[in-house]
Amino acid sequence: MNIVFIGSGNVTAILGRKFVAAGHKIVQIYSRNASAASELAYEWDTESTNYISMITKDADVYIISVSDNSIEPLAKELHLSGKVVAHTAGAVSKDVLQPVTKDYGVFYPLQTLRKESPHLPDTPIFVDAATEKAQSVLDNLAATISHNHEVHHVTELQREKLHVTAVVVNNLVNHLYTLVEAFCKAEGVDFKQLLPLIQETTERVHNSSPAQVQTGPAIRHDEVTLNKHLELLSNYPQLKKIYKTISDSIEGKSL
């Protein structure tokens, strides 16, 4: 397929690389960030523009991958009647694209994506479309880059639920890593020594329910160790608060 990207950030970079690897052609990148668009255009031997009026009308599908709060105002400026247009956001209604075309939808990649990544991660794609035409085009496109060619159909509410859980298991957990890394640096501990533990914890949930593999002092109701840990975290109130809140949740205490 011939694809136009609207946006030049992380999602565009990784999805674009996946599309190119699957044999599709990126015919244009539009972005207000001209340098970022030019860099990706150079990588894919295509053209870029930072003028919305210059977006080509000759593509098969248009993928909007901009910040969530930019989608609706952008949609009011786009006029792509008869074209299939989809945004990639997890928490934005597909109906914000109604002003653009009748053949609109959502092409949601459930994965953390960074343009600097040296590899292309497995990326489940969740599709929600307004018309049969949009559904068919987006399904076919998703099947070329999804793991085992699997495409998932979701309602708007299901996608929103997936998005909130994705934020918890990815963004919030990564924030915990950030706080722990800061603690390690300040206290003379090597954060990298925790990587085998992080890896093992992640591997376990591939085959078992997280509830079945919970370990640690809170699940054992080991108040002596919990209090000792809280004392060690006295100079790190943010991490201490999170430690206590989650430990109380594990123990089943009222929050």
Strand ranges (DSSP E) for 114-193?
Answer: 125-129, 151-153
Alpha carbon 247 to its chain's center: 28
Least confident of 62-66, 112-116, 127-131, 181-185: 112-116
pLDDT tens sequence across 131-158: 999 999 999 999 999 877 778 999 999 9
- pLDDT at position 26 is 98
Average pLDDT along the chain: 95
Q: Residue 5 in contact with residue 63, Cβ under 8 Å? A: yes
Asked if residue 121 lies in contact with residue 110, where contact means CB atoms within 8 angstroms, the answer is: no
- CA-CA distance, 66 to 240, in Å (whole number)? 35
Q: Which of 96-110, 145-159, 215-229 has the lowest mean pLDDT?
A: 145-159
Q: Which helix (H) or strand (E) holds 221?
A: none
Q: Enumerate the β-bridge partners of residue 128.
A: 106
> Quick one: which of 49, 66, 57 has its CA closest to 84?
57
Q: Picking from 48-52, 118-122, 199-203, which range would have the lowest pLDDT averaged per residue?
A: 118-122
pTM for the full model? 0.90
pLDDT higher than threshold 80 for residue 255: no
Q: Is the pLDDT of residue 127 over 80?
A: yes
Strand partners, 6: 30, 64
